[in-house]
Structure 1
Amino acid sequence: MSAPVSAPAGVLPGPGTPPDGDGGSSGSGPGRRRSLRTILVVALALVALVVTAIALGRGQPEHSGRLDPDDATPTGGRALARVLADQGVDVVVARDADALADADVDDGTTVLVSDPAVLGERAARDLVDAAAPGRLVVADPGPGAVDLLGLDVDPRWAGAVEDLAADCDPAATDDLDADLDGLEVSVDSALALEGADGCFPTSDGPLLAVEEGVVLLGADDLLTNDQVLRADNAAVALRLLGAADRLVWYVPDPADLVGDEGVGLGAALPRWVVPAAWLLVAVVVALAWWRGRRFGALAVEPLPVTVRAIETTEGRGRLYRKARDRQHAAHALRSATRERLAVQLGASRRTDPHALVVEVAARSGRDVGAVGALLHPAAPVPDDDAGLVAFANLLTDLEKEVRRA
């Protein structure tokens, strides 16, 4: 029968040696290699994502966005801006409120607001003041933007329109200062301006209207790169924006917003949404009150099967035996003995193994090195069945000695 331990008496691992767990892993097994491979794969994936993002970012234009005059994407307005410039119109791009103030708008200037949804109260007032000498055209005039401009118009979703004739209202023809007779527009989506007189009428209102000197273009899709060539969209755009010798294309900057200014989500929603939301909340509360059940006393139910605690230990032992994993079995025996001895000595189960070995040696009268060879997590363990049986017997004898002491 081989000896259960190989450490000589008096030789004890240092107190800094980490304790073994239930399985006593050496740190270099297949599990550690799998973890390293997983970390490596995740790191490579992150690097690939960063490189891809950088590569895609380099191909993006410096200025982009819906109806941006420098954006060549389908929703940009670069095509129209180039055509206007080729027609002799001086196109000036203003990308913030300061640039708009410096644009020197006069009576021969048209001011186009391409994204009024990011206007704040102060920016809207400055816009009206700056564009007062000329003509102001607002693309996509949503409910929030109309309210900020102080216009009595109710924008409504009109959906897609196909070959819609101008059919301008006589009262709006002079205000538009553009001859749109005989022209048709086709766009994928539009806003109808209920309560206003204008051109391209729908059942909910015209798509183009003039209200208090402000031109509202609900069919702003006709200005985009991918739809400007549909129907007579290009002609409508040129007559609206190219009538004057100078065009200030104003792209509002969100940085101009102060505090909580701007168009909130509530302004963009229909008026019936908020009452409908409150009604839904009331219905849910009423349903919860009706169908709710009060929590009663806890019901004690007998377990269908009573499982003895020893069966768990026996099951683990059978698994170790089937796998011929003697080292894990020995580590489990050592760890359990260490915990029981700590309880007997009135110490915590997390007591430092070195301190526990010294205390057990003092209580049992054994040599510290011999006790450390049995209890310390870093001490070697037997690697055959006979040694494992002897090792278990030695741990049992040590535990009995401490108990008797």
Structure 2
Amino acid sequence: MTATTPVGAATPAVPRPSRRRAVVAWVVIGAVLLVVGGVGGWLTGLYQWSQRDALDPDSAGPAGTRALVHILRDQGIELTVTDDRAAALRALSSGAATLALPDAPALSDGAVAELADAAADVVLLDPRTRTLGLLLGDTALAGEGDDTVASPACSLAEATRSGGVVPGAVFTPDADAAACYPSGQGYALIVHDDRGHRIAALDARAIIANDVLAEDGNAALGLNLLGRHDTVVWYVPSAADTDLVDTSPSLGELTPPWVSPVIVLLLAAGAAAAVWRGRRFGPLVAERLPVTVRASETTEGRARLYERSRDALHAADQLRSAAADRLAAMLGLGPAASASEISDAASAVSGWDPRAVRGILIDEVPRTDAELVALDERLRHLEQAVRTVVRTGTGPERNAE
């Protein structure tokens, strides 16, 4: 039976991609990018906030020092918290005072030294290599302590009254400094006293922060070091309070003057090439076929090609493949069934000789058109025999043909 398409019927249009679906996809991609960017900014903000919170005298968080500030004020000590260097200098000039100085990377060496010289005592709360070398000579960082309670092991009165502490970062002192709390490869407290001008260094995050202040002798040590005078000036470093001048040349100053025009020219050339060679991506255009083609014409045309090429074996393979598919469907075999399995099943159902069935479906090689026609006839007879048994449910025929 030949399937035909009615003459004059409209050819089904090629479905166009939905623009709404494309727009929704781009909207979803944009939303995902915004969410990822927002989460990244939020995490960055959390990290920056934790950095600002460290050793902040106004912070009640774990890394802040608000608890020690309250203790100092309860002891009658006047405490000034400022993030302005000029205000800190004015407060220090009013009399003998202690300067609480965290690491201040935004200040120059001269500004740090000026603050230290204006104070009677200086407590370096979280010193780095630059500050240590600037104010304490050959004192240097020596890694971390042993994470166990260390005794003072020195003659410094403030340390002996405080008792043991668990050090964080430790230091190696110079020859003129007193060193307390040995741990690891260094000491947790370094004190240099130059004719009444005292400079002390300790890892304040491990000793006087809110979350560790109540442990061991931490609170006593912080109070003894910062409370030697009636006035404490706590300087809070900030990027806004800086005296550093950026003298490094910009990228434009480092490049020759002809680089910028060349870059602009290359960008313009790239844009022109993109417009010239770029493709316009839009919806597909549905093309109506000019004629209606009968379904049988494709089969007939392919048969004529096989006839012209005298390729009987190829034509036989096509006939066998189609017959095997139909036999597999009739016998209830799956699409993955092999030719041997189909041959055995067809032989068992039809009652034909297995060798004859295998020759029809697999082994026989037609050389001429006559042999090809004969093979086609035997294939149809085999299909008819299997179909009859399957439909009627009768026993297999005993026929080798």
What TM-score do the two structures reach when normalised by structure 1?
Answer: 0.51
Cα deviation per residue 1:198-243 (whole Å; 9 max; x = unaligned)?
2213363332122244423233221111111111100111111122
Counterpart of 1:96 in structure 2 is 84
Bigger Rg over Cα: 2
The count of corresponding residues between Structure 1 and Structure 2 is 252
**Structure with higher RCO (Cα < 8 A, 6+ apart):** 1
Alpha-carbon contact 2:180-2:190 (below 8 Å) kept: yes
Alpha-carbon contact 1:157-1:192 (below 8 Å) kept: yes
Q: How does 1:3-14 map to 2 (within 5 A)?
A: none
Identity %: 28
SS in 1 for 2:188: strand
Q: Give the Cα–Cα distance (whole angstroms) in 2 for the partners of residues 55 and 204 of structure 1.
A: 35
Q: Give the Cα–Cα distance (whole angstroms) in 1 for the partners of residues 279 and 25 of structure 2.
A: 35
Q: Give the Cα–Cα distance (whole angstroms) in 2 for the partners of residues 231 and 201 of structure 1.
A: 16
2:164 equivalent to 1:184: yes
Cα distance change on mapping 1:34 and 1:108 into 2, 3 Å: same
**More displaced stretch, 121-130 vs 243-252:** 121-130
Counterpart of 1:193 in structure 2 is 172
Counterpart among 12, 19, 26 of residue 16 in structure 2: 26
Cα distance change on mapping 1:380 and 1:69 into 2, 3 Å: same
TM superposition shift of 1:379? 6.9
Cα deviation per residue 1:53-86 (whole Å; 9 max; x = unaligned)?
789979x989933111012221111111122112
Alpha-carbon contact 2:99-2:123 (below 8 Å) kept: yes
SS in 2 for 1:184: coil
Counterpart of 1:202 in structure 2 is 183
Cα distance change on mapping 1:192 and 1:379 into 2, 3 Å: closer
Cα deviation per residue 1:286-322 (whole Å; 9 max; x = unaligned)?
xxxxxxxxxxxxxxxxxxxxxxxxxxxxxxxxxxxxx
Q: Mark the runs of 5 or more structure 2 residues left unpaired by the alignment.
A: 1-5, 248-275, 298-401
Counterpart of 2:99 in structure 1 is 111
Q: Give the Cα–Cα distance (whole angstroms) in 2 for the partners of residues 50 and 99 of structure 1.
A: 38
Q: How does 1:107-256 map to 2 (within 5 A)?
A: 107-131=95-119, 134-149=120-135, 151-169=137-155, 173=156, 178=158, 180-181=160-161, 183-187=163-167, 189-195=168-174, 196-202=177-183, 204-211=185-192, 212=194, 213-220=197-204, 221-255=206-240, 256=242
Alpha-carbon contact 2:62-2:209 (below 8 Å) kept: yes
Cα distance change on mapping 1:86 and 1:53 into 2, 3 Å: farther
Structure 1 counterpart of 2:56, which letter? Answer: D
Q: Give the Cα–Cα distance (whole angstroms) in 2 for the partners of residues 219 and 384 of structure 1.
A: 90
Counterpart of 2:273 in structure 1 is none
Cα deviation per residue 1:158-211 (whole Å; 9 max; x = unaligned)?
334322111224xxx3xxx73634611124x22223333222133633321222
Q: Give the Cα–Cα distance (whole angstroms) in 1 for the partners of residues 188 and 178 of structure 2.
A: 10
Cα distance change on mapping 1:198 and 1:379 into 2, 3 Å: closer
2:65 equivalent to 1:65: no
SS in 1 for 2:18: coil
RMSD across aligned positions (CA):
4.4
Structure 1 counterpart of 2:141, which letter? Answer: P
Cα deviation per residue 1:125-149 (whole Å; 9 max; x = unaligned)?
3222332xx2111112221211233
2:68 equivalent to 1:80: yes
Cα distance change on mapping 1:378 and 1:140 into 2, 3 Å: closer
TM superposition shift of 1:118? 4.5
Alpha-carbon contact 1:143-1:154 (below 8 Å) kept: yes
Cα distance change on mapping 1:56 and 1:206 into 2, 3 Å: closer
Q: Mark the runs of 5 or more structure 1 residues left unpaired by the alignment.
A: 7-22, 262-347, 353-376, 391-405
Structure 2 counterpart of 1:154, which letter? Answer: A
Structure 1 counterpart of 2:288, which letter? Answer: V
Q: Give the Cα–Cα distance (whole angstroms) in 1 for the partners of residues 292 and 213 of structure 2.
A: 86
Structure 1 counterpart of 2:173, which letter? Answer: E
TM superposition shift of 1:383? 10
What TM-score do the two structures reach when normalised by structure 2?
Answer: 0.51
Q: How does 1:361-376 map to 2 (within 5 A)?
A: none
Counterpart of 1:381 in structure 2 is 288
SS in 1 for 2:181: strand
